[in-house]
Amino acid sequence: MDSVAILSHLRPGDRVVIDDIQADESVRRRLHAMGLLRGRQAQLIRRARFGGPLQVRVGSVDLILRRRDADSVHVTPLL
């Protein structure tokens, strides 16, 4: 599957499928454990102002993560 987008670049309301997390082992495992797993659907809910974190809904859970961490999450947008 080709990833065509990065989680941190999405706009509020965008729905995606998570492809891959390209980060160190420890970061990847933490994001996995928080539910950001390959094949899961996610939706960007809102972005905080001034370059602050993102609110992302993955399944039943809402997460906030920093843009820097979200940069490593590759996704495929859903139409």
Partner 1 sequence: MRRIALVGMPNTGKSTFFNRLTGAATRTGNWPGVTVDLRSAKILLGAEMVEVVDLPGIYDLQGYSEDEHVVRDFLTHNAVDLVCLVLNATQLDHQLGLALQFSQLEVDSLILLNMADEAKQLGLHIDTDTLTKALGREVRLLSARRGDGFRETKAAIEHHLASATAVQIGAAVGEFGIIDALSGEVQALYERSVQAPAIMTPRLTERIDRVLLHPWLGLPLFFLFMFLVFQAIYALGTPLQDGVAWALDGFRQIVLEPLEPHVPHLVYGLLVDGIYDGVGTVASFVPVIILFFFMMSLVEDSGYLSRAAFLMDALMARLGLDGRGFVMLLMGFGCNVPALMGTRVMRSRALRLLTMLVIPFSLCSARLQVFVFMTTALFTPRQAPLVLFSLYVVSFLAVLLSALLVKRRLVSHEPFVLELPPYRLPQLRQVFYRGWHEVRHFLHRASKFIIAGVVLVWLLTHYPVANPPGGPDSFAGMLGQFLQPVLSPIGISAQMAVVLVFGFVAKEIVLGSLVAMTGLQGAALSGYLAGHMSWVEGYSLMLFILLYTPCLSTVATMRTESHSLRYTAFSIVWALTIAWVFSFVFYQGASALL
Q: Interface residues with partner 1 (CB under 8 A)?
A: 23, 25-35, 37-40, 46, 48-53, 55, 58-66, 69
Cβ 19 to partner 1 shortest distance, Å: 13
Cα separations in angstroms, 5 against 9, 19, 26, 44, 60: 7, 10, 22, 13, 23
d(CA 46, CA 27): 22
Nearer to partner 1, 9 or 46 (CB): 46
Least Cβ distance, residue 74 to partner 1 (angstroms):
15
